Chain A
Amino acid sequence: MKTSRWKMSLVGALAGGLLLGSQALALPEGVDTVEVMAASKDHPLQEIRSGWNYRSPETQSLQSDDFENPGFIWVEQGAELWETVEGTEGKACATCHGDAAESMAGVGAAMPKWNEKLGKPINLEQQINACRTERMGAEAWKWESNESLSMTTFVRNQSRGMAVEVQTDGPMAPWFEKGKELYYTRVGQLDMACANCHQDFYGQRIRADMLSQGQSNGFPTYRLKWQKIGSLHRRFKGCMKQVRATPYKVGSDEFLALELYVNWRGQGLPVETPAVRN
């Protein structure tokens, strides 16, 4: 373990050097850092690194230009939906929230948030649907539908460059603990926990792929493999399938708790939505 940590930091230093050298300007557009120090000693990671660091220069360059970034197709669709009147109340998102650039700045960086009425945390996808059903009198969007993804991406994009910060105390504490437990619980036929890859071996190869820290700051993310944008919960499902476990459902309490915990692990990283990953 000791040697592997040392190797890891050497690889990190080399990658860092490359970044500083030939491609100092190749940061994601709208974001000025992709690495922060952990805020407390209790944090399981010493330095918190965005998944950006682990992708190839080709993938990075797709993200560092908003025009080339295919994720912006969904941002634009979301902007259209923002103005679209739907439901029995005759309202659009813009009717109440006005200009998203102002009203939604920072919202996506602080999800999931405690919801008093539901008595549990609520994430961005769910909050959008709550608005639709309760205030607009419209139908809830299906998870992972084009509309849900577009709006989620659009709203979170308004927080781009802002630091991820989630509440973990008070009523959120049991959810945080639940998420932490899930993160460290081995599951599936391969008997692996999230931590077995994303904490123990990030920066190293798993066959042809480079393991990241499994950070959530770029979600919803345009994945080249998916050829479209996808939600964090879809990614969670993918990871669980890969270790041959039965995935929880998107929007389930389990994934909500895990989302809260994973966001906390990336506390301080800038929101990159829509990020581009492989």
Chain B
Amino acid sequence: MAKSKPRVKVPKKADKGEVIKIKTLISHKMESGQRKDKKGELIPRQIINHFSAKFNGETVFEVDIQPAISANPYMEFNMRAEESGEFEFIWVDDDGSIYTKKQPLEVS
């Protein structure tokens, strides 16, 4: 597949104290490093090995990802909305690339 493209779904607005659901998905082949190609040689591992979500600079969700996770990994988590601010989502690729996406949240 072409370049990895993150998708994020966060409500634009929330009430103070409301628990909101954050959904994220990134297109990625998640090559496990255990498969062999047609010549019998190992295909090198290339996965997203880390995902984190920051809100106003503070980490609110973080996960280390292992090779058994399927292609196009989907992450979902809940968070209590206390103040307005900005989410930053960060995916770290084995090859060193970092994919990020930002999304604002308005709390009233």
- The chain A residues found within 8 Å of chain B, CB to CB, are 67-68, 70, 72-73, 76-77, 146, 224, 227-228
Contact = CB atoms under 8 A, between A and B. Distances in A.
A228 B25 CA distance: 14
Contacts of A146: 1-2
Interface in B15-45: 23, 25, 27, 29-30
Nearest to A77: B2
Interface stretch (B51-59, B70-78, B80-88): B70-78
Contacts of B23: 67-68
B7 interface: yes
Nearest to B27: A73
A68 B71 contact: no
Interface of B: 1-2, 5, 7, 9, 23, 25, 27, 29-30, 70-72, 74
B66 to A, nearest CB: 16
A224 B27 contact: no
A68 to B, nearest CB: 6
Contacts of A227: 29-30, 70-72
A63 B40 CA distance: 35
Contact of B72 (A67, A73, A77): A73
A70 B25 contact: yes
Q: Is the interface of B mostly helix, strand, loop or mixed?
A: loop
Contacts of B71: 70, 227-228
Contacts of A76: 5, 7
Contacts of A68: 23, 25, 74
26 contacts: A67-B9, A67-B23, A67-B25, A68-B23, A68-B25, A68-B74, A70-B25, A70-B27, A70-B72, A70-B74, A72-B7, A73-B5, A73-B25, A73-B27, A73-B72, A76-B5, A76-B7, A77-B2, A146-B1, A146-B2, A227-B30, A227-B70, A227-B71, A227-B72, A228-B1, A228-B71
Nearest to B76: A68
A224 B70 contact: yes
Contacts of A67: 7, 9, 23, 25
Contacts of A73: 5, 7, 25, 27, 72
A73 B26 CA distance: 9
Contacts of B27: 70, 73
A78 to B, nearest CB: 12
Contacts of A77: 2
Contacts of B2: 77, 146
Nearest to A62: B74
Contacts of B30: 227
Contacts of B72: 70, 73, 227
Nearest to A150: B2
Nearest to A67: B9
Nearest to A68: B74
Nearest to A222: B72
B25 to A, nearest CB: 7
A227 B28 CA distance: 10
Contacts of A70: 25, 27, 71-72, 74
A75 to B, nearest CB: 11
Nearest to A65: B23
Nearest to B71: A227
A23 B7 CA distance: 27
A230 to B, nearest CB: 13
B73 to A, nearest CB: 10
Contacts of B9: 67
